[in-house]
Amino acid sequence: MLRPYLRPFSMLSLTQGHLRLLEICPRRYQYTYLEHHTVPTDPAVLERQRWGTEFHRVMQQRDLGLPVDDVLQADAALGAAVNGLLAAAPELFVPQPEGFRQSEHRRTLTFNGYALTAIYDLLIVGPTSAQIIDWKTYQRPTEQAQLAKEWQTRLYLYLLVETSHLAPEQVSMTYWFVAPPTAQAAPAPPSSITIAYTATQHRHTEADLQRLTDQLSDLLAMEADLPQVEAGQGYCTQCPFAVRCQRSSERYGLEGSLVLPAIADIAEVPL
């Protein structure tokens, strides 16, 4: 019998968020992306997510030539963040007469029965190179080596090479970290981390995508819930489904206070 969330003749999309949860815990992928269970979220986290979405929206509108002055004047922190980024990286905002430049650029690739999907905050393609730009509305919490291992980096670079004329060594991904509103009078200026790419990394990513998609197809073919991660790996302590999975003793402290997800675990809302 077909699972209720699998429609005949439809191809499942796999984004970086899907791949990340699939690798951590297939059951969490099932609850989050196949069954769309909602979980309580800290209002402060929701507000930061709203602010991040607004930042992305303004950057896209500005790129399309739409007016944003009223929005920036109404939100001083947003205005400071956008203007700080424009001042820190003016080269990102000049026209590309010999290339291609687009905000919120979507790429999709059919791979092993799935639709691998990425939405780049900004893509800049020249005749012999390309940069993927991603805005992060929190302050540089991750080191370069860790960022290079994240599924967002790996999938975004893989998709660009597979859907363009460029070799791995000709593409890169740059994360720009922009300070969210804080009580600080002078938040840190925007900073960036650039990840280069190689043919070896490209082959590793392809092999991991093959492994994960094969595994997902096998799991979906079974009439059972997707497997849970081993409790000893420690992921359940930060998971919003700990009660549903009967691993709640790991999720609640002695006082019974809920462990809320980290901001980096909250997906940005697609525009």
- Site residues for ligand SF4 per CB under 6 A: 25, 27-28, 31, 228-229, 235-236, 239, 241-242, 245, 247
Nearer to ligand SF4, 139 or 237 (CB): 237
Minimum distance, C-beta of residue 245 to ligand SF4, in the bound complex (Å):
3
Among candidates 78, 173, 77, 168, which has minimal Cα distance to 122?
173
Nearer to ligand SF4, 18 or 28 (CB): 28
- Backbone angles phi and psi of 184, in degrees to 5: -70, 140
Measured CA to CA, the distance from residue 102 to residue 63 in angstroms comes to: 8
| DSSP letters for 92-157 | GGS--TTSEEEEEEEEEEEETTEEEEEEEEEEEE-SS-EEEEEEESS---S-HHHHHHSHHHHHHH
Minimum distance, C-beta of residue 252 to ligand SF4, in the bound complex (Å):
12
Nearer to ligand SF4, 10 or 246 (CB): 246
Nearer to ligand SF4, 15 or 228 (CB): 228
Question: Among the residues of the chain, which ranges form H helices?
Answer: 16-24, 26-29, 43-63, 69-74, 76-88, 144-149, 151-162, 199-220, 248-251
Measured CA to CA, the distance from residue 121 to residue 132 in angstroms comes to: 8
Minimum distance, C-beta of residue 136 to ligand SF4, in the bound complex (Å):
24
Nearer to ligand SF4, 201 or 228 (CB): 228
Q: How many alpha carbons fall within 13 Å on the CB side of residue 144?
A: 10
Minimum distance, C-beta of residue 33 to ligand SF4, in the bound complex (Å):
12
Minimum distance, C-beta of residue 134 to ligand SF4, in the bound complex (Å):
26
Nearer to ligand SF4, 27 or 56 (CB): 27
Minimum distance, C-beta of residue 137 to ligand SF4, in the bound complex (Å):
25
